Structure 1
Amino acid sequence: MTTEKSCFDDTSSGQGVEDKATVSVVGDPESVHVSLGVSDSEKSLKLDKTGLPLVPQPSDDASDPLNFPQWLKIAVLLQVSFLALLGPLNQATVNPAFVPLAAHFHVSTIVASYQTTIAIAFAGIGSFIWVPLANTYGRRPVLLFTTLIAAASSLGSGEALTWSQLIATRVLNGLGTSSFFTLGAGMVSDCFFLHERGRAMGIFTVFLTNSAHIAPIPGGFLGQFISYRWCYYLPAILDFTMFVVMFFCLPETLYLRGSTPVVTDRPILRRMKLWGLRPKGKHLKASDFLRQFIMFKYPTVVLTALYYSVTFTLSSILPAVTSAILFRRLYLFDASSTGLALGVGTLIGSTLGELLGGIVVDRSMYLSRKGKNDGDIVPEVRLQGIWLGAILQPIGLLIWGFCIQYKTIYIGPTMGFGIMCFAIQIISTVLYSYNADSYRPQTPEIAQVLNFGRQTIGMTAGFWAIPLGDKIGYQWMAVTMSLVGIVTFLPVIFLMFHGKTVRDRMGAPTYNRSL
């Protein structure tokens, strides 16, 4: 059988050309820690446009996602990024409308915020179901199925007649949207090389981070001028729209490295199948649902996840769950005004943070590789890009807390929002990229750890934020939370200098190494 030349050529995708060099792999062959040097036998390497070896090395299979043309990689990135945006959007659009929501169900505004808290909590739990399924049957069918769950449950929330019905649909919505955060990060890692991954992860995280900031803008207007129900209908419409787009445009990216290339003259269309792409010999086992907890034993993952979860809670979730109450109390803002104040400042901050964050982490990795004759690649280089975010995050939190306590004009806490979101975007980009570089085959499981930490710690904010601030003062709450953030940052500083030693001592995970 003959096969036509595929559009997935390395040269056509702009990834580089094939050249002769020698390579020796240090430690785990799936790790990014690769050194160039003299070896017993020469091996053909594919290089990027700067002459450095592509990491990881793509196969000769046209169906390998690393060989996708650049336009298709960007299309995948945009789709999974928009899907990541829809996760918090499903949960947070109703936040500015807590007052009419509470009035309809005859509960307090604080109790009304619990339906958001519950959705956030189950968004952290559900991924433990979806990741093993996606690693066996493919990312594409699982994402399509969970997007339908999200759409149906969000529609059900808008139609809920009782408080218990609303809570039940919010549980389902959290379970459905949980896959958006974890599988999306895995698909980004499936498609992009090391030198592209920081910027690609940055785009993914800016959508993820900004979602909770964009949501209050339409949510405020819908809650005030139409009905709080439309704060659920809008996400349902967007979920279903995204389902249709992905059904026709999102290819499968699950790929078993070392597998026999499939002879086909239509590799893109083959990757659009809903089934039949399960890696040969791969079967779902009960142990698959348990071994995903293995990533919790790796210090580099757990320590960065702790810092990320704390700072995300304080910089993104805290403003989201408190603004509807505080801005109404201090400034007599209605739902639409609250949505604009919260959304615009945080959106600007996150966008500026991404413009800086993704570029800096990729540039730092490039300069590190270029400056070493042995081509040594150490993921800890990524962590050096976190400093600006780590410094600005507590500053923004303090501005927010003191401005709320001393009742400055609304521009004050809004500036605090913006600075915190600028910082968390840099922090998110750096930590997602660092972990993907450290354990690339386990990227979905790592994203699951980050998501679980973010959702679990974040869900608590709605319970303690307002009572704590009212009791000790918002300025002292901000000081306390800033100190918590600084303490959880100390292990990240340790990893900057000793992360490689820690990873070498722990070894690499033994599962999914062929992905």
Structure 2
Amino acid sequence: MSPNTSAGSKQHLAHSHAHEEDIPGTVNLNAAEGDDTGYGQALFPVPAEDPNDPLQWSNFKKTMILIICSFYSFLANAALIGPSPYIDLWAEEFDISPTKASELISYPNLAFGFGSLIFVPLYLKIGRRPVMLISLIIFCAGIIGASQCTTYGGLMAARVIHGFGSCVCEALPVQLVNDIFFLHERGERIGYYTVCLCLGTFASLPAGYILAGGYGWRLFFYVEFAFGAALLVLAFLFVEETSYDRKSAILMSMPATESEKASEVMGSQVLAEISETRIPPRKSFAKTLSLWGRVDNDVPFFTMMARSFTYFLVPQALWVIASFGINIGLLALAYSYTFPILITSPPYNWTVINSGLFAIAAVVGYALAVPFTSSSDRLAAYFTKRNNGIREAEMRLGVMLPAMLIGPAGIILYGVVAEKSLHWVLYFVGGALSYFAAYFYFSFTLAYAVDSYHSNTSEMLIAMNLGKQYVLPNIALILPL
């Protein structure tokens, strides 16, 4: 039964008796009579009997939030990586070396990664909605500033500002998925976010064609600003505060739950009327537009920054961080460095402009992987059923086995083609295989990490963002050797 179906004019509120076991990531999903289910299993987290609980929101509301935050990830990553074709142009315009000009790409990326140390504790402290809006405002300000800069220092400052402002777009979408979707939906929803995140890294292709079309590099930032401003309006209208004190709400509803024991005496109709009076009304649309989030005075802002580093000592979190970093390094750096050199040399002799067409391999690889976005959820549900309704976080990882074979096969094929100077189509085949496998790593290892550390998701996300920014640059240093 869907948690958002309606009976007449009244919203159906989802019910569940699922509960977490003593070991983090282990959940009892056995459904009791009257429970709403997903894949035949009770819903988790257990929603409060309150239409304002984000888990009780309509599918339209949840989907709009997911679309907005996912597109923000696309836009922010496009702004970071997209201008890479302009390095030589900036070197000439600002009278600096190409190495110096490349810092206009690297330093904004560092600001993007390390800014999560501030923004993630901040959205836990004052709420998701205000931080999302503040982030978008800073991003748009930095982007429009970059479009007007006439000096290297000014452009660097504007680039660092929009990189820092948008840093939350990698952590916040995962947090929002954690806030508004049930356990059996997370793998698929994180998969959709991952698609947008990955596609943002290919913005350098249209950025290059902007130059080929006779337009200046500023047009790229104008386009980014237009989309950013539109996204800010959509976020203001649809991204309601998702931080919710579910434990307190469930405790407040406990008397109503306990009163069910008196149903035999009072009668079901009278009991239903009593329960209904305890359910608060849904917030009006005007109230959802409030700029204030849910302030949590119990969040230790600075302690959380320090505590996030402890996740580098947790094997599961370290594995996810390394998986992300290595795949990003291999795909974004190894292929980006080697393919233009190989394809513009004999026997291929392609033009430099056409060397960017390798992005087609990524698009094909990700497109072939998208139909599998729900595969980890389905596999975990199957194993949960076999395990008498007890769910383990590791149950979704079986879908990784094909990717663990296909990914290395793609890299080996790419290397053999480069060594033997085989047909150029095989470069794209090898790349597509690698990107196909990378999608599984990006999506399902992240879903696994969220399942394992549901109560400390934000601290884990800080560690993941910092780790990716560390692993990726180190691969970049190793490659030239």
User: Structure 2-normalised TM-score?
Assistant: 0.83
Does structure 2 conserve the Cα–Cα contact (< 8 Å) formed by 1:95 and 1:324? Answer: no
Q: Which residue of 2 aligns with 1:26?
A: 21
Does structure 2 conserve the Cα–Cα contact (< 8 Å) formed by 1:182 and 1:444? Answer: yes
Q: Match for 2:215: what amino acid?
A: I
Q: Which residue of 1 aligns with 2:272?
A: none
Q: 1:36 Cα deviation (Å)? A: 6.0
Instruction: Give the distance between the partners of 1:112 and 1:323, measured in 2 at CA.
Output: 22
The one of 193, 201, 207 equivalent to 1:204 is 193
Cα 1:287/1:445, change in 2 over 3 Å: closer
Pairing 1:193–2:167 present: no
Q: Which residue of 1 aligns with 2:274?
A: none
Instruction: Give the distance between the partners of 1:253 and 1:191, measured in 2 at CA.
Output: 7
Q: 1:135 Cα deviation (Å)? A: 0.4
Does structure 2 conserve the Cα–Cα contact (< 8 Å) formed by 1:24 and 1:34? Answer: yes
Q: Match for 1:34: what amino acid?
A: V
Instruction: Give the distance between the partners of 2:417 and 2:40, measured in 1 at CA.
Output: 52
Q: 1:144 Cα deviation (Å)? A: 1.3
Alignment of 1:26-425 (within 5 A): 26-27=21-22, 31-35=24-28, 46-213=35-202, 215-224=203-212, 225-260=214-249, 263-266=280-283, 269-279=286-296, 281-282=297-298, 285-320=301-336, 331-335=349-353, 337-339=354-356, 341-356=357-372, 358-373=373-388, 375-404=389-418, 407-408=421-422, 410-425=424-439
Does structure 2 conserve the Cα–Cα contact (< 8 Å) formed by 1:117 and 1:460? Answer: no
Does structure 2 conserve the Cα–Cα contact (< 8 Å) formed by 1:121 and 1:459? Answer: no
Cα 1:453/1:243, change in 2 over 3 Å: same
Cα 1:415/1:235, change in 2 over 3 Å: farther
Q: Match for 2:466: what amino acid?
A: F
Q: 1:15 Cα deviation (Å)? A: 9.1
Instruction: Give the distance between the partners of 1:352 and 1:15, measured in 2 at CA.
Output: 36
Cα 1:463/1:162, change in 2 over 3 Å: farther
Q: 1:156 Cα deviation (Å)? A: 2.6
Q: Which runs of 5+ in 1 are unaligned?
A: 1-7, 469-515
Deviations 1:443-493 (A, max 9, x none): 23323222222222223455554x33xxxxxxxxxxxxxxxxxxxxxxxxx
Worse-matched range after superposition: 53-62 or 109-118: 109-118
Identity %: 25
Instruction: Give the distance between the partners of 1:327 and 1:229, measured in 2 at CA.
Output: 29
Larger Rg, first or second structure (1 or 2): 2
Equivalenced residues, count: 446
Q: 1:436 Cα deviation (Å)? A: 0.9
Cα 1:428/1:36, change in 2 over 3 Å: closer
Deviations 1:413-440 (A, max 9, x none): 3333322211110111110110111112
Worse-matched range after superposition: 156-165 or 416-425: 156-165
Q: 1:115 Cα deviation (Å)? A: 2.1
Q: Which residue of 1 aligns with 2:261?
A: none
Q: Which runs of 5+ in 2 are unaligned?
A: 253-278
Cα 1:46/1:243, change in 2 over 3 Å: same
Q: Which residue of 2 aligns with 1:480?
A: none
Structure 1 counterpart SS, 2:28: strand
Q: 1:88 Cα deviation (Å)? A: 1.3
Does structure 2 conserve the Cα–Cα contact (< 8 Å) formed by 1:216 and 1:338? Answer: no
Instruction: Give the distance between the partners of 2:61 and 2:190, measured in 1 at CA.
Output: 16
Structure 2 counterpart SS, 1:46: coil
Worse-matched range after superposition: 202-211 or 163-172: 163-172
Deviations 1:89-144 (A, max 9, x none): 01111123333333323445454433222222221100010001100111111111
Q: Match for 2:218: what amino acid?
A: R
Does structure 2 conserve the Cα–Cα contact (< 8 Å) formed by 1:96 and 1:338? Answer: no
Q: 1:292 Cα deviation (Å)? A: 3.2
Cα 1:265/1:306, change in 2 over 3 Å: closer
Provide the aligned C-alpha RMSD in A.
3.0
Does structure 2 conserve the Cα–Cα contact (< 8 Å) formed by 1:15 and 1:48? Answer: no
Cα 1:16/1:320, change in 2 over 3 Å: farther
Deviations 1:281-316 (A, max 9, x none): 546643243333343332211222112211222123
Cα 1:177/1:338, change in 2 over 3 Å: farther
Instruction: Give the distance between the partners of 2:313 and 2:80, measured in 1 at CA.
Output: 30
Worse-matched range after superposition: 342-351 or 57-66: 342-351
Pairing 1:445–2:463 present: no
Does structure 2 conserve the Cα–Cα contact (< 8 Å) formed by 1:63 and 1:268? Answer: no
Q: Which residue of 1 aligns with 2:273?
A: none
